[in-house]
Chain A
């Protein structure tokens, strides 16, 4: 048994979980074409959730701040991007790939900008006064979430909003009898690119070094002469921007969004960071991929179970590893 776990560890340990899940699903599903479609869908969904969850996880890891208002940035990102796309509707409909891409870039940039500014505001005004006080933190960020949702309702109204998307992201690629939605590939590529960027920043830069050290032991980093609280604002803004970007991508994926989007995603985001282990980017990615894959496979294999699948996944993983799959070392 020990030998087995050692061998597994050498090949990547818990990193293999999504692969194992995919393999089991392959056997259960039986039809390779459906399996490919579902796997792509699961990975795409996982990467979008990763975008939404990574900031929450880092913010918690670095400052022990649990931001229940995080999902507000997901909602705002979705609506800001949708409105921007609607504003550039002419470019989208012009038939020019360049113009449509530009509109898409503008939309995502607008969401990201909003996330940064909103994140700055949120950190300075809402969260700073309640550092180190978990009870009030949860209450205040929850209050902020209520207010944010109401603001979204006041601005965009309660009726669902259609999200226009560039023509070149519509439709599917058909390879043999496998059909792959192009938008999913786009989401997947975007997510991987962001992950790669985050990975490089965290592992190859001095700021990243400070963040990693700060997640582990904030006090010691301060005792070495660095102001973690100033670094934290940056991380918070970045995390909020990522959440907004995740929301923007999700909006394009759903094509029909309403103000409850943030609240719905919040649950999944929480499950992901709990599964992955708070404070670690690798863990968050792992958790997001697991949730994405499992919900797509189960949705196909046993639609009635789809809803509870995330919850069951979470309980199973917590029973096995109470601190999550890959928690940051504390």
Chain B
């Protein structure tokens, strides 16, 4: 059974239909990459899963439970974390406060915290700094750290490499690979090189519709398909 199944999801923002027909099966484990050009509906798909925009009609099922109509907070409680494109960092809060806020109990689980320190040494270094003073890459790390401070089933990550230096992108890729050993990641990307390294399964979205779904290995092997679908994304 898939971890997350999305069936015929349609989402309107105001009077504009952004998603027309999104059907996706995200299997348990590994990184699932959702590719697509700007405005294709990638972010909207993630926000619809998170309940920040209401799909109708359509359904979102997490481990057999229908979460389509649930409140964002309840969806989060069921084990989905969201790393938005703008990272959603609380700038006036310190790094520590950003993380402690994301814990359920208000207390850190030391082993998880140690793991975060190893993944992102900058978090420990800037522990007491206000988050607005961090660099773009550090903010991205904090946002990801916030998503894994509690055990989660699924992490939605929206274009994490946007605007980051290549060295940081590499570090990020390593971190994601490690996180994906224990948690499923649904990654939205435009950077195909980055996506290729991480993805096990993938799908391409265009104009609010899923136009291709399969394994990353097949997709990488099929140059024709890539040219056809990613020229859309060019």
Chain A residues with CB below 8 A from B132, complex form: 329
Taken together as a complex, chains A and B put the C-alpha atoms of A225 and B78 apart, in Å, by: 9
Interface flags for B53-97 (1: CB within 8 Å of A; 0: not) read 000000000000000000111101100011010001011110001
Taken together as a complex, chains A and B put the C-alpha atoms of A228 and B72 apart, in Å, by: 10
Give which listed residue, A220, A222, A328, contacts B92 with CB less than 8 A.
A328
B101 touches A223 (CB 8 A): no
A206 touches B106 (CB 8 A): yes
B106 touches A224 (CB 8 A): no
B97 touches A223 (CB 8 A): no
B52 touches A224 (CB 8 A): no
A264 sits at the interface (CB 8 A): no
Chain A residues with CB below 8 A from B74, complex form: 225, 227
CB proximity of A204 to chain B, nearest CB, Å: 11
Minimum CB distance partner of A205 in chain B: B106
Interface flags for A206-244 (1: CB within 8 Å of B; 0: not) read 100110110011011111111110000000000000000
A222 touches B91 (CB 8 A): no
B185 sits at the interface (CB 8 A): no
Taken together as a complex, chains A and B put the C-alpha atoms of A221 and B146 apart, in Å, by: 11
A224 touches B91 (CB 8 A): no
A216 touches B90 (CB 8 A): yes
Give which listed residue, B77, B81, B100, contacts A209 with CB less than 8 A.
B100
Number of interface residues of A (CB under 8 A): 19
Chain B residues with CB below 8 A from A225, complex form: 73-74, 76-77, 104
Known: A206-B106, A209-B101, A213-B101. A223 touches B52 (CB 8 A): yes
A216 touches B92 (CB 8 A): yes
Minimum CB distance partner of B147 in chain A: A224
Chain B interface, DSSP helix/strand/loop, else mixed: mixed
Interface flags for B93-133 (1: CB within 8 Å of A; 0: not) read 10001001110101000000000000000000000000010
B92 touches A212 (CB 8 A): yes
Most-contacted residue by chain A among B52, B81, B88 (CB, 10 A): B88
Give which listed residue, A209, A212, A213, A222, contacts B76 with CB less than 8 A.
A222
Chain A interface, DSSP helix/strand/loop, else mixed: helix
B203 sits at the interface (CB 8 A): no
Give which listed residue, B77, B81, B90, contacts A212 with CB less than 8 A.
B90
Chain A residues with CB below 8 A from B92, complex form: 212, 216, 328-329
B6 sits at the interface (CB 8 A): no
Chain B residues with CB below 8 A from A210, complex form: 101
Count: A-B pairs, CB below 8 Å: 60
Chain B residues with CB below 8 A from A329, complex form: 91-92, 132
A219 touches B72 (CB 8 A): yes
Chain B residues with CB below 8 A from A217, complex form: 88, 90
A222 touches B90 (CB 8 A): no
Taken together as a complex, chains A and B put the C-alpha atoms of A225 and B100 apart, in Å, by: 13
Taken together as a complex, chains A and B put the C-alpha atoms of A221 and B89 apart, in Å, by: 10
B90 touches A213 (CB 8 A): yes
Give which listed residue, A224, A227, A228, A328, contacts B101 with CB less than 8 A.
A224
Give which listed residue, B72, B100, B104, B106, contacts A223 with CB less than 8 A.
B72
Chain B residues with CB below 8 A from A220, complex form: 84, 88, 90
CB proximity of A89 to chain B, nearest CB, Å: 48
CB proximity of A115 to chain B, nearest CB, Å: 27
Chain B residues with CB below 8 A from A227, complex form: 71, 73-74
Chain A residues with CB below 8 A from B76, complex form: 222-225
Taken together as a complex, chains A and B put the C-alpha atoms of A222 and B47 apart, in Å, by: 12
Chain B residues with CB below 8 A from A224, complex form: 73, 76, 81, 101-102, 146
Chain A residues with CB below 8 A from B71, complex form: 222, 227
Most-contacted residue by chain A among B73, B84, B93, B100 (CB, 10 A): B73
Minimum CB distance partner of B50 in chain A: A223
In the complex, besides A219-B52, A222-B72, A223-B52, 14 extra interface pairs with C-beta distance below 8 angstroms are A209-B97, A209-B100, A210-B101, A216-B90, A223-B50, A223-B73, A223-B81, A223-B82, A223-B88, A224-B81, A227-B74, A328-B92, A329-B91, A329-B132
21 intermolecular pairs with C-beta atoms under 8 Å apart:
A212-B93, A213-B93, A213-B97, A216-B93, A217-B88, A217-B90, A221-B101, A222-B71, A223-B50, A223-B52, A223-B76, A223-B81, A223-B82, A223-B84, A223-B88, A224-B102, A225-B104, A228-B73, A328-B92, A329-B91, A329-B92
- Counting from the closest, the 3 A-B pairs by CB-CB distance are A225-B76, A220-B88, A222-B72
